[in-house]
Amino acid sequence: MQRRWTSRKQAGLLEHERIVAEDSSTCYSQRVSIEFFCEYCGKSTPALKPSSWRCICGGPWSLPPGPPFDPDAITSAASGVWRFHRQIRLPSGHYPTLGEGCGRWLRANNEPSIALAHLEPTLSFKDRGVTTLLAWASLAAQPPLIEDSSGNAGGSFAAYAAAAGIPCRIYVPASAPPGKIAALHAFGAEVVKIDGPRFNTTEAAIADNDGTYCSHAWNPMFLEGTKTMAFQWWQEHKGQFPKRIYVPAGQGSIVLGLFYGFREINAAIPDFTVPAIMPVQHRTAASLWEPINIDGPAVEPRPDDVPSIADGIAIDQPVRKEALITAVTQTGGRVIAVGNEEIRNAQRKLTTMGVWAEPTGAVAMAGHMQVGDDDDALVVVSGHGLKTGKV
């Protein structure tokens, strides 16, 4: 089934009425001032001088749809993410980079293709989003930069902040894997451990007024980096994608990154066939299940599912929940819920293919295996097994 977005001027959650017309899209390459807009009330604020880390109504800031994807504007003079600089709404020359942007596909007979999104400088796909987030912070934020994370985003944030020479403070759950906390210290971040559920960590970071809260979940510039997955895969595979893409989903930055990237490709290439985006969540934090599977059975965690071994997606309520629901439904996808046993089996399955993934990184494979899908699919591995050292 071919899916496309027919009007780029359609008002609404993901198609904002203030979008720049296609015939004047050169303004993006000239890096004129852009605005964030609130996904809830539509209020706007200058992107490089935002009024706060979120809208006064409590909604997250977002960006209007980007310019139509231009293959001729791809540059070979930068890394995987920044070779698509024209699609990223930031001024030229202001970005820290560690060479991020791998994500090559591994193909095996009678198996789904595997997107090696974990083979990044800090062994997590989060590097794609953090490079653009830190580029924004270098222009718009007052140090120290403040972030909250269960591990991977914090490690990436600390590494890129170190590369940019900007001090940062990372709030983490006290239960975060020791190896991930050690990485934060190694990069020189100030680490604050918070007891209790994941939400407590976010609340503590928000309450810290000594610096700028630069959350990868709340700041839309993070998604400017993750959407480059779509562009890179389009370039490397000549626009040919499997029918379905399985991705782990907590805050859903891969889901939204792919959705936004596909939307920009579709704006330039109307006959581009958009793959179905298949978010996979843990049964203890399956916030997207009920809104999308309205008539389906409720998700009930099993005794072995508590506590979740997929700490990277232990998010009860994602910041951009409505946007995630739109991304899944508009691409014809579905939500899959898995538990600890399925994730461990998926980790073992991946090792037989030469891929070592941490539990969260193996969630997408667990979803593919549970559905019993065929090989016309792409499974995204998001975090390396070295993060936890376990299989």
Task: State pLDDT tens for residues 248-291.
Answer: 999 999 999 999 999 999 999 999 999 999 999 999 999 999 99
Strand duo 105-106 + 44-46: pairing: unpaired
Q: So what's the pLDDT on residue 33?
A: 56
pLDDT tens across 343-361, in order? 999 999 999 999 999 999 9
Residue 4 lies inside a defined structural domain of this protein: no
Q: In this structure, are 248 and 294 located in the same domain?
A: yes
Per DSSP (E only), the strands in the chain are 35-38, 44-46, 61-62, 105-106, 113-116, 145-148, 168-173, 190-194, 212-213, 244-248, 276-282, 336-338, 377-381
| 4: pLDDT strictly greater than 70 | no
Residue 149's domain is classified under what CATH number? Answer: 3.40.50.1100
pLDDT at 254: 98
Q: 144 and 284 in one domain?
A: no
Beta bridge partners of 37: 44, 62
pLDDT in tens, 46-99: 999 999 999 999 999 999 999 999 999 999 878 789 999 999 999 877 688 999
| Number of CB atoms found within 10 A of residue 371's CB | 16
Question: Letter for the amino acid at 46?
Answer: P
Q: How confident is the model at residue 21 (pLDDT cuts 50, 70, 90)?
A: very low
Q: What is the pLDDT of residue 25?
A: 35
DSSP conformational letter for 387? G
The pLDDT confidence band at residue 198, using thresholds 50, 70 and 90, is: confident
Helix (H), strand (E) counts: the chain: 12, 13
Residues 137 and 70 in one domain: no
170 and 280, same domain (yes or no): no
| Contact yes or no for 296/247 (Cβ under 8 A) | no
Q: Sorting pLDDT into bands at 50, 70 and 90, what band is 28?
A: very low
Angle at CA of residue 46, ends 40 and 51, nearest 5°? 70
Residue 233: closest CA among 380, 51, 65 = 380
Return the sign of the alpha-carbon dihedral for residues 147, 149, 155, 157: negative
Structure tokens at 186: 């190694």
SS3 187: coil
Q: How far apart are CA 50 and CA 263, in angstroms?
A: 25
Strand order of the β-sheet with 336-338 is: 105-106, 113-116, 377-381, 244-248, 276-282, 336-338
Position 5 in a domain:
no
Segment 224-238 shows an average pLDDT of 96
134 contacts 157 by C-beta, under 8 angstroms: yes
pLDDT one-digit tens code per residue, 285-342: 999 999 998 777 889 999 999 999 999 999 999 999 999 999 999 999 999 999 999 9
Q: What is the average per-residue pLDDT within 208-232?
A: 97
pTM to 2 decimal places: 0.90
What is the average per-residue pLDDT within 33-39? 89
| Tally of domains within the chain | 3
Q: Looking at the structure, do residues 236 and 379 belong to the same domain, yes or no?
A: yes
The partner residues of 35 in beta bridges, in order of sequence, read: 46
Closest CA to 53 of 202, 173, 260, 197: 202
Domain-embedded: residue 100:
no
Domain range for 249 is 105-125+223-387
* Together in a domain, 240 and 306: yes
Whether a cis peptide bond, with omega within 30° of 0, leads into 307 is yes
15 pLDDT more than 70: no
Distance set, CA 168 to CA 23, 43, 155, 183 (Å): 40, 29, 11, 13
Dihedral of alpha carbons 51, 52, 53, 59, sign: negative
